[in-house]
């Protein structure tokens, strides 16, 4: 009898203990999933904040050799790259020993022709501005133009209303349009949306009772009427009414950026993740530190214009949120390839869009990666 009681007591204790452990397992919170793994060997530095914008520098120890490529600005400045209106029939005329486009009646608003006469492939980024011709235009899509290629029809978008007449030769404007305009070209690929974003400053929706931006639409409209009668993007954002604010913003952010990124050992800055207020909105990452530095001055100016045109929220984004912009999206993929030259890839997931440009020669590498939170 005593043995039976003892066994019953042990069995009761074992049952209670087991149920308690199961109850703890069921009631304990689930372990959170690990943070998304960044592509390549990227990591973020500490946040750099000014006004309503936050930059997170992206660094890596695995910077690639991108010396085989030339940027659009470099190619135009050296004369190795020529951009002309479509329909010029390949004709050229010479002025002072210099080859210049011969415009014809076959010009088209949304297409130019690019000729690469240099010895290196040309890298083009969506949103880069070419100034001159019959109207200023921006490049419509990231791509690579190989050396010695046939004259290439180039999809572009107009960012200058009120002029359609032969002007100066197309030249390097050293400008890339701010993210709200660049989004409409790179993702939406819509001319009317491009121009709407130019005139309004940004397409980002502002919540009710949002702090007013430093560059409200009224200021931009007034600038167009007074300082940029042809409604040129370059003139709008270089005017005294707008440019002073942009220049001050750029100088202050560049000072802070240089301080944070100095003294790196064995690592290179290859990109940035950009936030406005508490929203991570944009990132540009390149294959090398040299390539990033070539684009950085005009990229920073474009981010500053966007910041001034957005509501002046002072909330700040977290590093964890920024780190999510280093991971690839898992949505639907669309690809375009020019064999032996490049692959262009777009991935969409929710409100996010990722665009990657892979060079296939002389070595396969991701030259540029754009990830953005769509405003439309």
Query: What confidence tens digit (pLDDT) does each residue in 283-313 have?
Result: 999 999 999 999 999 999 999 999 999 998 8
Give the tens place of pLDDT for each residue, 57-93: 999 998 899 999 999 999 999 999 999 988 654 434 4
Q: Strand 122-124 relative to strand 70-71: parallel, antiparallel, unpaired?
A: parallel
Angle ∠(165,171,173) on CA atoms, nearest 5 = 105
* pLDDT for residue 13 is more than 80: no
Q: Which of 140, 139, 176, 136 is nearest to 160 (CA)?
A: 136
Q: What is the pTM of this model?
A: 0.83
Which conformational region is residue 7 in: left (phi greater than 0), alpha (psi within -120 to 50 degrees), or beta? alpha
Distance CA 192, CA 190 (A): 6
User: Average of pLDDT values for 226-254?
Assistant: 86
Q: Which residue has 């301080």 as its token pair?
A: 259
C-alpha distances in angstroms, 340 versus 58, 66, 337, 363?
29, 17, 9, 10
Q: Which of 304, 272, 266, 271 is nearest to 290 (CA)?
A: 271
| pLDDT band per the 50, 70, 90 thresholds, residue 35 | very low
* pLDDT for residue 54 is more than 60: yes
Cβ(86)–Cβ(154) below 8 Å: no
Give me the pLDDT at residue 166, please.
65
| pLDDT band per the 50, 70, 90 thresholds, residue 9 | low
| pLDDT band per the 50, 70, 90 thresholds, residue 103 | very low
User: Average of pLDDT values for 12-40?
Assistant: 47
User: Average of pLDDT values for 270-285?
Assistant: 97
* pLDDT for residue 234 is more than 60: yes
Cα-only R_g, the chain? 26
Q: Which of 41, 119, 59, 122 is nearest to 292 (CA)?
A: 59
User: Average of pLDDT values for 173-194?
Assistant: 93
| pLDDT band per the 50, 70, 90 thresholds, residue 136 | confident
| pLDDT band per the 50, 70, 90 thresholds, residue 1 | very low
* More confidently predicted of 208 and 354: 354
Give the tens place of pLDDT for each residue, 184-219: 999 999 999 998 898 888 888 878 678 889 888 888
Distance CA 71, CA 124 (A): 7
| 7 burial via Cβ count (<10 Å: 0-12, 13-18, 19+) | exposed
Give me the pLDDT at residue 22, please.
43
Give me the pLDDT at residue 25, please.
41
Q: Where are the beta strands (DSSP E) in the chain?
A: 43-44, 48-50, 53-60, 70-71, 81-85, 92-95, 98-101, 111-116, 122-124, 128-131, 137-139, 143-145, 152-158, 171-176, 268-276, 279-286, 332-338, 342-349, 352-359, 365-373
Distance CA 235, CA 226 (A): 11
Instruction: Tell me the pLDDT of the chain averaged across its residues.
Output: 84
| 49 burial via Cβ count (<10 Å: 0-12, 13-18, 19+) | middle
What SS3 class is residue 98? strand
Cβ(237)–Cβ(129) below 8 Å: no
C-alpha distances in angstroms, 74 versus 141, 180, 215, 294?
18, 25, 31, 9
Give me the pLDDT at residue 39, please.
54
C-alpha distances in angstroms, 239 versus 222, 227, 229, 245, 358?
11, 6, 12, 10, 37
């Amino acid at each position: 009898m005593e043995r039976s009681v003892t066994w019953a007591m042990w069995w009761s204790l074992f049952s209670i203990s087991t149920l308690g452990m199961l109850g703890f397992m069921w009631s304990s919170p689930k372990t959170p999933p690990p943070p998304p793994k960044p592509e390549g060997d990227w990591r973020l530095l500490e946040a750099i904040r000014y006004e309503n914008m936050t930059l997170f520098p992206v660094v890596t120890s695995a910077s690639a050799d991108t010396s085989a490529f030339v940027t659009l600005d470099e190619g135009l400045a050296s004369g190795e790259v020529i951009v002309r209106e479509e329909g010029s029939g390949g004709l050229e005329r010479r002025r002072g020993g210099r080859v210049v486009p011969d415009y014809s009646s076959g010009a088209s608003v949304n297409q130019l022709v690019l000729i690469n006469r240099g010895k290196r492939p040309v890298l083009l980024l969506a949103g880069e501005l070419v100034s001159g011709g019959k109207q200023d235009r921006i490049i419509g899509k990231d791509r690579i133009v190989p050396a010695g290629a046939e004259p290439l029809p180039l999809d572009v978008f107009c960012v200058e209303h009120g002029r359609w007449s032969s002007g100066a030769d197309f030249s390097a404007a050293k400008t890339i349009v701010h993210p709200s305009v660049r989004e409409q070209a790179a993702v939406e690929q819509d001319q009317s949306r491009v121009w709407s974003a130019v005139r309004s400053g940004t397409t980002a929706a502002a919540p009710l009772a949002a702090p007013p931006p430093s560059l409200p639409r009224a200021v931009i409209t007034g600038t167009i009427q007074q300082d940029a009668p042809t409604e040129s993007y370059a003139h709008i954002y270089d005017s005294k009414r707008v440019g002073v604010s942009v220049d001050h913003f750029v100088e202050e952010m560049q000072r802070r950026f240089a301080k944070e990124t100095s003294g790196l050992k064995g690592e290179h800055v290859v990109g940035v993740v950009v936030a406005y207020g508490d929203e991570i909105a944009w990132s540009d990452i390149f294959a090398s530190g040299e390539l990033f530095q070539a684009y950085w001055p005009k990229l920073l100016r474009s981010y500053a214009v966007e910041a001034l045109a957005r509501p002046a929220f002072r909330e700040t984004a977290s590093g964890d949120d920024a780190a999510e912009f280093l991971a690839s999206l898992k949505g639907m993929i669309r690809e375009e390839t020019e064999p032996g030259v490049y692959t262009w890839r777009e991935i969409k997931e929710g409100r996010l869009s990722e665009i990657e440009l892979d060079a296939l020669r002389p070595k396969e590498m991701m030259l540029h990666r754009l990830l953005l939170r769509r405003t439309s």
